[in-house]
Amino acid sequence: MQSPFIVEVNEQNFRQVLEGSMQAPVLIHFWASMSQESADIIPELRNLAQQYNGAFTLALVNCEEQQAIAAQFGIQALPTIALFVNGQPVDGLGGPQTIDNVQSMLNKHLPSQDELDLKKALELIQQNNHAEALKLLQALPEEMKQKGDVKLATADCLLEEKQFDVASQLLEHIPLEYQDNYYKSLIAKLELHEQTANSPEVQALEKALEADPQNMQLALDLAIQYHQVNRDEEALELLWSFLHKDLNAKDGDLKKSFMDILSALGQGNSIASKYRRQLYAMMY
């Protein structure tokens, strides 16, 4: 199947190909079968285009078949590679090249892998795939993670993944210039959670447990309430305060609720992973 990032150029489409450089850089490779070096590098160029996944378009011009295009570009030697950005030539290479040379030239003009990962994360957020977006955002270099737009995107994912405490900490340190409607919508979502999370039922159970801190039934009831209002880290910590002393506390009821919360959070949740490791360390 033909890749969307690789195109064979002819007189009918070459203007459209150049116009495409307004959206993403276009690497034009002029080649011919009579020039062995120009033909041999094509598979590596194709692999490079696939690897960069749309960061640039590879345009192949067979100069034997498209002599008018080759003449229009003034091609006098093969292979010749030209890089177009925003409709204009910005760089090029003449003569036989290694794929490393081509990649070095590209890297001077293309977004970094971190920038591509950020772009992908933002696309995933638009697709409501916040869990995968969060993985990409958390893997970015620390310098990028300190930028206001990255903090907002990360807070968005954390809220959707019910990691409210971490999201709250991030939102407390958003630069003033990024406190736009997006920021305000995230603050509103966090405030709604906080109002729900501090229900009268929760407050009553917290007060009762404070008066009787060793009451396992009260602890279990409060943990369940915490879970219902998405205060899962507090629920797990409360249950673990009993379980780390006795895994079968209250005839196994605490362990069952603990496992139920872990299961509800899923494998990718960092909070669940932390408590799952602690549980397995005791069990095995």
| Cross-strand bridge partners of residue 94 | 80
pTM: 0.56
Region 20-25: mean pLDDT is 91
Region 270-277: mean pLDDT is 88
At residue 196, the pLDDT reads: 80
pLDDT over 80 (residue 273): yes
- % residues pLDDT > 70 (the chain): 99
Region 213-234: mean pLDDT is 92
Region 189-218: mean pLDDT is 90
Q: Residue 122 in contact with residue 157, Cβ under 8 Å? A: no
pLDDT over 60 (residue 1): no
Q: Residue 60 in contact with residue 8, Cβ under 8 Å? A: yes
Under the banding of pLDDT at 50, 70 and 90, the label for residue 170 is: very high
Pick from 145-154, 187-196, 267-276 the range whose average pLDDT is largest: 145-154
Region 193-215: mean pLDDT is 90
Quick: pLDDT tens for 81-107.
Answer: 999 999 999 999 999 999 999 999 998
Region 257-272: mean pLDDT is 87
What is the C-alpha to C-alpha distance for residues 272 and 224, in angstroms, rounded to an integer? 15
pLDDT over 70 (residue 10): yes
**CA nearest to 37, candidates 73, 93, 78:** 78
Higher pLDDT, 256 or 53: 256
